[in-house]
Structure 1
Amino acid sequence: MGWFGRSKKPQDPRPPLPRRSPAGLGPRPDPQGENHLIVITLDSLRWDSLMAAESKVIPKLGKVEKRYSYASWTAPSHYNLLTGLLPHSSPQHVYASEYYKEDFFQYNTRLAAKGIDFGAMVPGLWFPEFLQGKLGYQTHARVSLPVLNPKTAINRGFDSYNLMDSHNDMRAMLSTLTFDSDR
């Protein structure tokens, strides 16, 4: 799995989507933070293979780090990602809970927002709902693997969640992406 993500406000000529309340969480707040967040996962991609490919594009998306997935297959790996926990760097002599809290705090920088900490996720522990309910984000998912289909529980907290027609077709996803003009 990989993590990449920030872009500054693109100009979008389309009118913004109406703000709706995230599933029972009350009215959505005005957008906070100035960065959009884009998560791209490359399922089953090994670090050594990525580095051997010497991609000129991937490093432009953000810092490339060697990280380890929480699970060895797709569905549980993505469930962990959607709790806000990025794949970990497996530091030695550090309690996992301390590492998670510190890594989660980095969302303040990633999103150019303030006051984000792991405690703010309690009790839901679901990152898409946190982004909606606390930071006013619109959340959308485009997936190409059937085990992540909209009928599974992983779709919780998204304004839209779509299983694409074709597996492994990133290009088909790009034309469906939109960005919140308020951010």
Structure 2
Amino acid sequence: MTAHRYEVRSRRDRFRGRVFSVVTDEVTMPGGGVADRDYVRHVGSVGVVALDERGQVVLIRQYRHPVGRIMWELPAGLVDVAGEDLAAAAGRELAEEADLLAGRLDTLVDLHTSPGFSDEAIRIFLARELSEVPPDRRHDRRDEEAELSVVRLPLERAVAMVLSGEITNAACVAGVLAAARARDADWAPLRPSDAPR
């Protein structure tokens, strides 16, 4: 059986913003028809599961307006600095959101957050050998980040929070579960920080 090639015949921009745009593609379908597909084109993001020497995971609590509540999340952010590779973006976000530096960074898991309507891809890194960002070099947090709180929890507790529905952020769910699995496999599933996507 030969797979159908879904070819884009045309693209219309509906909205263009700093983080994402919304487009409509006219796509060929099996059987010869065409269909419009609306979706979000995203700049991409990174997240960090930071584990300290006691096996605690560093999570943040941050308000997210689309869902109207404070969420449990990983330190994470956009890949929006020109020329910055994914590992550097992860290190930057860890420093900005958790005031931490990582002596070791490995690739933990890659995911598409919601491929039914967005092309957003996020790479989750595992950060270990943590140290504090010196107070005079810490990021000045603004807007929602001004009220961001940083919490350290045992990894097993974070896993339980995922399974109970307390942690629902997709990147955090995937990162916490992948970190627990990688730890249980003595870190064998980890990939280098510059592993291809």
* TM-score grouping bracket, smaller chain normalisation: under 0.3
Q: What is the TM-score when the length of structure 1 is the normalising length? A: 0.27
Q: Comparing both chains, which one has the higher relative contact order based on Cα–Cα distances under 8 Å and sequence gaps of 6 or more? A: 1
Structure with greater helix share of residues: 1
Larger Rg: 2
